Structure formats: structure tokens, C-alpha cells
């Protein structure tokens, strides 16, 4: 096999795609498969639309006989992993400025990327169906490989002691959790509204993630009368501790191909609620799937769980079991099989 090039324009320690590529690179290395990660050589001060054009020129003009496994919309992939979803569908859901040239450029690249790839990996059936219905791609060309999660050691006592020192937690208070940056698309406004509708008044809720308009959401929590219950932590390096102590993970996102945070929360024994527009809903039982981000009927379901501890414990253990079956090792194995097939 020719050397595999793992393609991603940005470099980051925190991005889901970048973390995924680092995991894949490790597995390739462990199996003695030659590879290299290819990132953009262009300065970050350039506008994003120009960087993506230049990156396409960079990788396609230098491809030659190299094998491209891409997590970026490029016009010359061998295998494309559609972890960013379908931009054309995303634009139907999110109102974006028509003056931003990034969106038409993405649409131009996306169509050619799907058509030119030998094989496509979708991380949910939702995304596979969107690729087929939006661009008419043959279904035989698309494999669904769910995201994988690394096994973690859960120590509730240690995590609770550590966080209670910082946040003065009550061991009898149910804890709800949201994790994610980009609050508008991922439903923090709806999260706060759902919190305000809960009958259980003893809860504590954490919102973890980076957001440039954080003051808007902090003011909204005051307007909704939940500012004493909701703590905005900003980005954290110890997110695992929050997963460990939480009871319910609520993620009312408007569009998500397959959010890793859902799988992470399940792996830490959380009851999880998310929307039909999140590909990760496919691994949840029906009653935990919201019809959309403003499906506020979820509040009564959360109240029911918090009032029925045995039922809550049952779904926590069930979610842990499901997450255990979706290991990062299994994801890597299936991905390597598809690379070999291509």
C-alpha cells in the first residue's frame, strides 16, 4: 500500500476531527502502516474561505500516487470521512450570512468531494441518508462507522470531592450537564429553557464550553430564573469529572452528524437526551430522543427519571453498556478495513 496521508486543514488539540486523526495515526503506527498527517501550510490570519481554497490547491497539486484519507472537503480524496456532516443540509437549518464566501465554496467542494471519493465513511445513518438524498451518491459507496469512545475509569467519590470543593455541591442534588462549544447551534438557549421548566427545584446544572457571546446566555439564565442553578464553567480540562458526577446529559442541538459528547456521557453512566437532528440519536432508545431542539416535553421525562431513582440507574447502566460496545478500537478496525478496500 502507498503511504496514507491523513488530511485535515486545521491543527488543534481539541477539535473532534483532529482528536480522531491523532487516534487513527496511533493505530496505523501500531500496525506498522506508513502514514503522515497533512495540515495547511498557510498562515492562520488569512480568511477561512481563502485558507480552504489554498489548502485544496496544496493537497491536490501534490497528491501524485499518495493515498488520501480526508476529514476535510477536498476535491481529490480517496476515502472521505464525512464527520462534518452535509453542509447543504446544515445551511437549511442554520441561517448564515449570504455575504460569507465560505458557504458557496464549501458547497462547491462538498459536491466534488462526495463524487470524487472512492469510498465515503458516514458516522451515522442520518448522514448517509443526507448524502444520498442531497447529492444522489450511490449507497454502495458509503459505509456507516459510528464514532468510538475510549474506556475510562469512573471514580465518582474522587470526582465529586474535587468538584464540590470548587462549586459547593450537595450530594442530594441531581446534576444535569451540557458540554459543547458553539452554544447557538448546539442548543444552550433551549437547555436553559428546559431547566426552567423542571419541577425538581433541587437540581444543579453545568454548561461547559467556549462561547464568545457568553454574557447573553448568562443574562438569559437570570431572565429565566435559573441563574442560581446553572453554572457556566467555560472550557475545562477536567470534563471527565463532570461526566462522572452528572445524572442527566442534555444536548438539544439543532444539527450534529454524530456528537462525541453523547457517547462520552453514556460511557460515564449518564442518562442522555438529544435531538432527532443529531446522528447520535441512533444509539439511544426512542423515549430519550427529542423531536427537535425546542421539544420541551423532555422536561417532564427528566422529572420522571429524577423521581424514579431505580429507573434512572437502569438507563445509566444500559447506556454504559451501549457505549462499551462502541469502542475506539472497533471504530479504528472498521476504518482500516475501508481504507484497505479502497
In whole angstroms, what is the distance from residue 181 CA to residue 159 CA? 23
Angle, in degrees to the nearest 10, between helices 125-135 and 102-116: 100
Question: Going edge to edge, which strands form the sheet with 35-38?
Answer: 35-38, 4-7, 67-70, 79-81, 119-122, 142-144
Domain 4-148+328-341 class in CATH: alpha beta
What is the mean predicted confidence (pLDDT) over 170-194?
A: 94
- Please determine, for residue 1, whether its predicted confidence score (pLDDT) is greater than 60: no
Question: pLDDT: is 173 or 19 the higher one?
Answer: 173
Output the pLDDT for position 23.
76
What is the mean predicted confidence (pLDDT) over 166-187?
A: 92
In whole angstroms, what is the distance from residue 105 CA to residue 323 CA? 36
Query: pLDDT tier at 10 (50, 70, 90 boundaries)?
Result: confident
The segment(s) of the chain belonging to CATH 3.40.50.2000 are 4-148+328-341, 156-325
Output the pLDDT for position 103.
94
Query: pLDDT tier at 24 (50, 70, 90 boundaries)?
Result: confident
pLDDT digits (tens, 9 = 90+) for 234-287: 999 999 999 999 999 999 999 999 999 999 999 999 999 999 999 999 999 999
In whole angstroms, what is the distance from residue 36 CA to residue 50 CA? 24
Domain 156-325 class in CATH: alpha beta
- Please determine, for residue 13, whether its predicted confidence score (pLDDT) is greater than 70: no
Count of C-beta atoms within a 10 Å radius of residue 157: 9
pLDDT digits (tens, 9 = 90+) for 44-88: 999 999 999 999 999 999 999 899 999 999 999 999 999 999 999
- Mean pLDDT of all residues in the chain? 92
Which of 36, 35, 33, 54 has the alpha carbon at shortest distance from 45? Answer: 54
Contact between residue 332 and residue 27 where contact means Cβ atoms under 8 Å apart: yes
Output the pLDDT for position 104.
94
- pTM for this prediction: 0.91
Output the pLDDT for position 78.
96
pLDDT digits (tens, 9 = 90+) for 287-332: 999 999 999 999 999 999 999 999 999 999 999 999 999 988 899 8
pLDDT digits (tens, 9 = 90+) for 113-159: 999 999 999 999 999 999 999 999 999 999 999 998 888 889 999 99
Amino acid at each position: 500500500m502507498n503511504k496514507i496521508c491523513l488530511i485535515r486543514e486545521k491543527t488543534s488539540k481539541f477539535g473532534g476531527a483532529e482528536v480522531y486523526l491523532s487516534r487513527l495515526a496511533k493505530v496505523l503506527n501500531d500496525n506498522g502502516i506508513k502514514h503522515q498527517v497533512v495540515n495547511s501550510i498557510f498562515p492562520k490570519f488569512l480568511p477561512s474561505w481563502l485558507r480552504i481554497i489554498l489548502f485544496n490547491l496544496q493537497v491536490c497539486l501534490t497528491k501524485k500516487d499518495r493515498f488520501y484519507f480526508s476529514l476535510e472537503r477536498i476535491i481529490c480524496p480517496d476515502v472521505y470521512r464525512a464527520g462534518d456532516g452535509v453542509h447543504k443540509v446544515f445551511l437549511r437549518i442554520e441561517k448564515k450570512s449570504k455575504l460569507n464566501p465560505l458557504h458557496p465554496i464549501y458547497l462547491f467542494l462538498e459536491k466534488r468531494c462526495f463524487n470524487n471519493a472512492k469510498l465515503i465513511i458516514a458516522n451515522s445513518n442520518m448522514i448517509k441518508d443526507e448524502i444520498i438524498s442531497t447529492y444522489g451518491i450511490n449507497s454502495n459507496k458509503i459505509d456507516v462507522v459510528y464514532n468510538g469512545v475510549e474506556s475510562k475509569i469512573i471514580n465518582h467519590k474522587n470526582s465529586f470531592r474535587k468538584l464540590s470543593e470548587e462549586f459547593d455541591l450537595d450530594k442530594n442534588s441531581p446534576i444535569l450537564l451540557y458540554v459543547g462549544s458553539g452554544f447557538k447551534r448546539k442548543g444552550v438557549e433551549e437547555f436553559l429553557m428546559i431547566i426552567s421548566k423542571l419541577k425538581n427545584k433541587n437540581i444543579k446544572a453545568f454548561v461547559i464550553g467556549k462561547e464568545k457571546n457568553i454574557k447573553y446566555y448568562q443574562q438569559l439564565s437570570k431572565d429565566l430564573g435559573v441563574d442560581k442553578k446553572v453554572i457556566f464553567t467555560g472550557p475545562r480540562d477536567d470534563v471527565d469529572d463532570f461526566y462522572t458526577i452528572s445524572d442527566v446529559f442534555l444536548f438539544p442541538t439543532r444539527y450534529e452528524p454524530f456528537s462525541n459528547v453523547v457517547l462520552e456521557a453514556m460511557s460515564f453512566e449518564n442518562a442522555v437526551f438529544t435531538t432527532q437532528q443529531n446522528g447520535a440519536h441512533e444509539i439511544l432508545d426512542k423515549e430519550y430522543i427529542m423531536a427537535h431542539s425546542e421539544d420541551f416535553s423532555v422536561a417532564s421525562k427528566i422529572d420522571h427519571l429524577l423521581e424514579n431513582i431505580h429507573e434512572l440507574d437502569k438507563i445509566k447502566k444500559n447506556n454504559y453498556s451501549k457505549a462499551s460496545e462502541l469502542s475506539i478500537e472497533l471504530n479504528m478496525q472498521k476504518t482500516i478495513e475501508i481504507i484497505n478496500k479502497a
